[in-house]
Amino acid sequence: MTGIIQRFIALCLAALLAACSAEADNADMIIKADHVVTMDADLSIIDNGAVAISDGIIIAVGTADEIETAYEADQVIGGDGTVLMPGLVNGHTHAAMTLLRGVADDLALMSWLSNYIFPAEVQFVDSEFVRVGTELACWEMIRGGTTTFVDMYYYPDTIAEVVDACGLRAMISATVIDQRSPDAEDAGDSLRKGVAFIERWQGKNNRITPIFGPHANYTLNGEQLAATREAARPFDAPVSIHVSESPFELQYSKDNYGMTSIEMLDDVGFLDGPTIAAHVVWPTDREIPILVDKKVGVIHNPTSNMKLASGVSPVAKMLAAGVRMGLGTDGTASNNDLDMWEEMRLAALLQKVDSMDPEVLPAADVLRMATSGGAKAIGLGDTVGSLEVGKRADLIQVGFDDVHHVPTFDVISHLVYVTDEQDVETVIVDGRVLMRDGSILTVDTERVEREARAFGARIKKALDERNRSR
């Protein structure tokens, strides 16, 4: 008798579910996974989960059963053997420098900049260089699961056009620097051109945020830095800058301004507005509270800091103090790639060995820096960085069936300590699929490879000639 009642109840439930599904809401896309790592405040992970997307926005997050009962979608992306998570946020890049990758290695920052990078840029960089280099970088970032990046380079309109076409999300800086650059004569000229760039791009596309990128306080003086902040203010535009990167800068700042970099920036009013500070390797104990107080987003770039021997940033100390921390690769000429998985791993390992404490900067903290925390650091915390209803649909599906994921005890540990770029299978930004099953859909990779190789040959020939004439 009990069996009959149970069967009756089951039938009723099935009928109810069928009725419900007949009235299911529409979604553009449902994407599923064995584990949905939401990166919400509680670090919730939903097993056998799914996300529903409509008009580029996340409209539901839950178990696959719940989502498929409530929504009917035009496109369903299955998720066996995968983890779904927010796309990675690369808080500091010079994307077009992919074309200068490996031009000069194993040098100190100032020698590398003055003897190789700045001269090479003046000689080769034009808008065509920036177009091809940025396309190459976008291809590499999509392949590796980065969905948002903060860029600082020349010809920002060209960068914005490439980002617009390839579908990524970016904050794109108009670089301000007081020396002849590929696209301006001096600081005043670069600032004027920057204002025009912001006017052209602000509010045009939700994926593109035009910002200012004053280079550093050793390539610009206090007056020029203050003028950059004043120019940004009417647009409420953030500024991205290299801060407290190397012992050279520390000394330069003390010699020229009588104080260290962050105090100097604060002194000229530069920090009175949204600021993204790349590096921050040498903050003093007096400066860390300034970063908290002024809500400065700090972007840690462990590979670049190690490669240029800039030092070890006190990341754990800044996090504990309440600084908004994100993660970045820096340009590929000092990294030499745009791999945020490697950056996460190195960030964790570097803090541990530096403090001789394996408990420092655990995996979850690093994953936060690469997703929700990084998004907050760059001022996009309400828009992206976690899988939550109302946020833009920037998400990636990571394959967990490769041998290095067998077996998996802790998904977050695997994302930080095991996963690499080749595990990323699907990349979606603003609801648009940019990569599916490892195939890039929005960059003409054959053409970009051909053009990048041609640039490489030209640069190599010129460098060989320069070396011969020395």
Give contact residues for Zn ion (rule: CB under 5 A): 330
Q: Which is nearer to Zn ion, 343 or 423 (CB)?
A: 343
CB 126 within 8 Å of CB 149: no
CB of 445 to Zn ion, least distance (A): 26
Strands (E), 94-249: 146-153, 169-176, 208-214, 239-243
Query: Which three-class secondary structure state does DSSP give residue 248?
Result: helix
Please state, in angstroms and rounded to a whole number, the distance separating the CA atoms of residues 261 and 254. 8
How many other C-beta atoms are found inside a 10 Å radius of the C-beta of residue 432?
Answer: 17
Say how many Å lie between the first and final Cα of the chain, rounded. Answer: 97
**Cα–Cα–Cα angle for 213, 222, 276, nearest 5°?**
30
Q: Which is nearer to Zn ion, 330 or 451 (CB)?
A: 330
Nearest Cα neighbor of 328 from 346, 316, 308, 311 is 346
Q: Which is nearer to Zn ion, 278 or 415 (CB)?
A: 278
Please state, in angstroms and rounded to a whole number, the distance separating the CA atoms of residues 203 and 209. 8
Q: Which is nearer to Zn ion, 147 or 335 (CB)?
A: 335
Strands 297-300 and 324-327: parallel
Residue 233 is given by DSSP the state G
CB of 291 to Zn ion, least distance (A): 18
Q: Which is nearer to Zn ion, 330 or 425 (CB)?
A: 330
CB of 256 to Zn ion, least distance (A): 21
CB of 92 to Zn ion, least distance (A): 6
Strand partners for 57: 54, 392
Nearest Cα neighbor of 77 from 56, 109, 95, 50 is 50
Strands 275-279 and 239-243: parallel
CB of 308 to Zn ion, least distance (A): 10
Q: For residue 193, how far is the Cα from the chain centroid?
A: 25
Please state, in angstroms and rounded to a whole number, the distance separating the CA atoms of residues 224 and 215. 11
CB of 37 to Zn ion, least distance (A): 29
CB of 216 to Zn ion, least distance (A): 9
- Residue bearing tokens 């998904």: 411
CB of 331 to Zn ion, least distance (A): 6
Residues in CB range of 279: below 8 A, 6 or more apart: 92, 242, 243, 244, 245, 299, 300, 301, 304, 305, 310, 313
Residues in CB range of 48: below 8 A, 6 or more apart: 32, 34, 63, 64, 65
Which helix (H) or strand (E) segment is 252 a member of? helix 247-257
CB of 328 to Zn ion, least distance (A): 8
CB of 457 to Zn ion, least distance (A): 26
Please state, in angstroms and rounded to a whole number, the distance separating the CA atoms of residues 305 and 303. 5
Please state, in angstroms and rounded to a whole number, the distance separating the CA atoms of residues 241 and 363. 27
- Residue bearing tokens 């553009």: 28
CB-based closest residue to Zn ion: 330
CB of 304 to Zn ion, least distance (A): 7
Which residue type is seen at 334?
Answer: S
